[in-house]
Amino acid sequence: ESTVNSPVIDLESEDLRCRTAKMDAKATKNLTLTAGVKFGLLFRENAKEESRFIQPHHKGPVMIYLAPLASNGEGDVWFKIFEKGYDTKTKRFFTEELQETRGAMDFTIPEDIAAGEYLMRTDVLALHQAKKKGMAEFYPNCVQIKLESNGKAKPKGYPIPGVFKADHPGLLIDIYDPIKSYEMPGPPLYSKELGTTPQNQEGEIPEEGNQPEEGDKPEEGDKPEEGDKPEEGDKPEDGEPVVKKPKVPAGKKKPCNGRKKKKRHFK
């Protein structure tokens, strides 16, 4: 697991890929998942159970990517399979929704993606200082998975680093001004029908059984004043993903082989 608890802001850094600094990949094993079957992701600042998701004022979108494992994440290999940004109806970023579940969300890999071994990259984006160019904060992490699937799709890939631009309106934005719309950064979202889909894919909050217990909600965070920065010595904190056991519909083969969930941090 990662021992790093700070963001990546350099869009040309290789750490933008999987935030590989201080990681140990030797003990990593494949996590077996099945395309089209719902499973859980749990984001935490660290591996401790009592850890919160992320600082409340760290507001922004969440994105998930895949890349063939053999590529080592290098080159035009990353394709986006999930994104959720700003909801104009509720006037909240997806990270604000995840605060209510202490970082828990449900997710399904598209069923037409070809079987194989992949790096799955999750990315929590914090925009609280993004009014200034180059200050959007990326919190990426990677998990190594073995995907079971009858699909054949091998979507077009994009480079990370390389696909994000500092002047993109999704990365250069004052989130404390009224937001009429939000444009997701990065490559287009993959879909079977169109190759891309409209931004802000419908995300799923976990079912009742996965909700945190009453009284176990994250602390309320005050909206920082314009120009506010973290206090001296207060490292920006991240939400690290933990993959939860998939929920298998009746009649479908159980995707996991009984291994404990493992995270992949790959360089």
Q: How far apart are CA 122 and CA 140, in angstroms?
A: 6
Whether 244 shows a pLDDT value over 50: the answer reads yes
Q: Is 132 within a domain? A: yes
For 121-159, the pLDDT digits (tens) are 999 999 999 999 999 999 999 999 999 999 999 999 999
- pLDDT band at 14, cuts 50/70/90? very high
Tokens of 74: 């290098």
* Structural domain of 156: 1-208+235-267
Nearest to 103 by CA among 84, 124, 117: 124
Please, are residues 157 and 7 in contact by the beta-carbon 8 Å criterion?
Answer: no
- pLDDT band at 169, cuts 50/70/90? very high
Q: Is 101 within a domain? A: yes
* Average pLDDT for 8-23: 84
Greater model confidence, 23 or 100: 100
Q: Is 226 within a domain? A: no
Q: Is 183 within a domain? A: yes
The percent of residues above 70 in pLDDT, for the chain, comes to 66
Among the ranges 10-19, 27-36, 161-170, 195-204, which has the highest mean pLDDT value? 161-170
pLDDT of residue 233: 41
* Average pLDDT for 193-217: 47
Q: How far apart are CA 244 and CA 217, in angstroms?
A: 19
Whether 10 shows a pLDDT value over 50: the answer reads yes
Q: How far apart are CA 267 and CA 257, in angstroms?
A: 26
The domain that contains 95 carries what CATH number? 2.70.50.70
Range in 64-73, 148-157, 230-239 with the lowest mean pLDDT? 230-239
Amino acid at 161: P
Q: Is 27 within a domain? A: yes
Q: Is 81 within a domain? A: yes
Q: Is 67 within a domain? A: yes
Q: Is 26 within a domain? A: yes
- pLDDT band at 234, cuts 50/70/90? very low
Range in 41-45, 105-109, 239-243 with the lowest mean pLDDT? 239-243
Supply the pTM of this predicted model: 0.73
- pLDDT band at 182, cuts 50/70/90? very high
Number of structural domains the chain divides into: 1
Q: Mean of the per-residue pLDDT values for the chain?
A: 78
Whether 168 shows a pLDDT value over 70: the answer reads yes
